[in-house]
Amino acid sequence: MAEIIYSAQSATVKNAYREGANLLLLDGCSLPDICVACGNPALGNVERKEFSKLNPFFYALPLFLGLVAELGFRNKFLFAFPFCPNCPPERLRLTPVRLDRKLVVLRGASQRVLDWLPPPPPEVAAERHRPWLQRKLRWTGR
C-alpha cells in the first residue's frame, strides 16, 4: 500500500486550482487558510482526510485474489485540509472525482475556497482532460 501525502500547511497557496466546482490538487499542494467546508477562516486548524483508490482491474479477480490484490495494490492519498474549529468533521464532504499521482480532482469544497484559487495553467488543464487510457499508457511515451 502506498501512502501519498498530497498537501501540507504553508503560508502560500501552491499547486491548487479551481475548475468550475472542482478543486484540482497537484502533489505538494497547499491551500489558503480557509475552511474547505464552510469558507470561514481556518485559523491554522486542519482536518486530515484519507482517500483510497484501487485499480478497477482488481475487482475482476476472484474474491481471494481480489482481497490480496487490494491489500497490496491500494493507494492511500492523505490530505490535511484547512478546517475551521466551528465545523464538525462530518461536514467535510469532499468527493473524489479523480485520484492519481499526477492530479487529484475533488468536488464539494466551499465556494469561498474555490474563489481564492486560480484557474489551472495550460499543462494542468491538459492533464485534467487527458483520457483515462492515455493516463494509463503514459509510461509508453504516448
Tell me which amino acid residue 109 is. A
Residue 19's pLDDT is 96
Q: Give the 3-state secondary structure of residue 108.
A: coil
pLDDT at 86: 93
pTM to 2 decimals?
0.78
The pLDDT tens digits of the residues spanning 72-111 come to 566 788 888 999 999 998 899 999 999 888 899 999 999 9
Stretch 108-129: mean pLDDT: 94
Percentage above 70 pLDDT, the chain:
73
| Those residues with Cβ within 8 angstroms of residue 38's Cβ, 6 or more apart along the chain or in another chain | 84, 86, 87, 91, 110
- From residue 51, give the alpha-carbon distance in Å to each of 5, 95, 133: 11, 9, 22
For 140, residues 6+ apart whose C-beta sits below 8 A from its C-beta are none
